[in-house]
Amino acid sequence: MLLNALKSFSMIDSNTILDSVKYVVDNSGHVKINTDMIKDHTDAVIGKGIHWEDVAPIKIPELDKEKKIAFFVVFNALNFSYWGKPKWTIEYKGKEYDGCWGMLGALSRSIEEKQQLFDSASLKHLSEDKLNQILRGNTEIPLFKERLQLLNEIGKIVNEKYGGKFSGLLDAADNDAFRLLELLTEFPCFNDYIEFKGKQVFFYKKVQLAVCDLSKFCQGNLKNINHLTAAADYKIPQILRKYRILEYSEALANKIDKKIEINPGSNQEIEIRANTVWAVELMKQAINDPNVTATDIDHYLWIQGQKKEESDKPYHRTRTIFY
């Protein structure tokens, strides 16, 4: 009865995101897209069809379907804001990992240590000490208390709305990517939108990545999965700037290059994220191949961004739970 009540057509689609970011692009004062540079970097994407799993140094744990769904919800919920001095790093199987690989390693380590995490009750009642043990590393991970709060919220919502079953999310989504996205945005940590000059702008970075992972690893191809947009984080704009597709005002470029924090929700931050999403959309249009999606381009750019070079300029620094 509960699941039937939750089934409905999604009110969110790719246009919800793209129309909102286009408004920002058209009204940006700090960031612009150099469309002349787009074609120079589209040919490299064609035929790649890669996913982050293809380059992951850590194998995704073997879990039953229920726990696997919980794993990818938790992983994507926690996959944000790793930068700092010193940078949070964990040790797993004799090697050190940071960033998203550090999070993948920490969660994989917790499974091997038989720590209860991937069920609604454990998340709802997760304590500070327990999470600290799971995420232990060389230093405390940034936004630790916010991470604990969002995991508690996930456990509470899954318990109350889906009878404690993460699989209830997929059942209620009716095999549709945007319906699943909409359901996941009921979790505050996934509800990634902001107001810009009086209009709402939707980014949905983490939740789109969660939907991609759930489609790939847990459900098979969801309907409309090919219509998701780029995930606006701090690595994609960094590589787009390197490719000279994104151009910044002198003031913004200086701030980024000097590693000065940019406030979340500021015009500068919103413009970086919106122009990132739109630039990837323009790349997709330039490629003009139905088999190449914005997500494919996003994954390709993100993987390119992992190849660090001495000449690389910094990524922008914004402390937020959304990326």
- Dihedrals phi, psi of 194, to nearest 5 degrees: -150, 165
Is-contact 274 24, C-beta < 8 A?
yes
Catalytic residue among 233, 289, 296, 312: 233
The structure tokens listed for 134 are 């799971």
Establish whether 233 is a catalytic residue: yes
* CA terminus-to-terminus distance, the chain: 35
Provide the sign of the torsion angle of the four alpha carbons 250, 251, 254, 259, taken in this order: negative
User: Phi and psi of 218, rounded to 5°?
Assistant: -125, -25
Residues belonging to the chain: 323
**DSSP string over 174-216:** TTBHHHHHHHHTTSGGG--EEEETTEEEE--HHHHHHHHHHII
ω into 86 cis (within 30 of 0): yes
The enclosing H or E element of 286 equals helix 267-287
**What does the block give as tokens for 71?**
């794993």
CB burial of 86-104 (b: ≥16 within 10 Å; e: otherwise) equals eebbbebeeeebbebbbbb
d(CA 93, CA 251): 44
The residues carrying an active-site annotation are 233
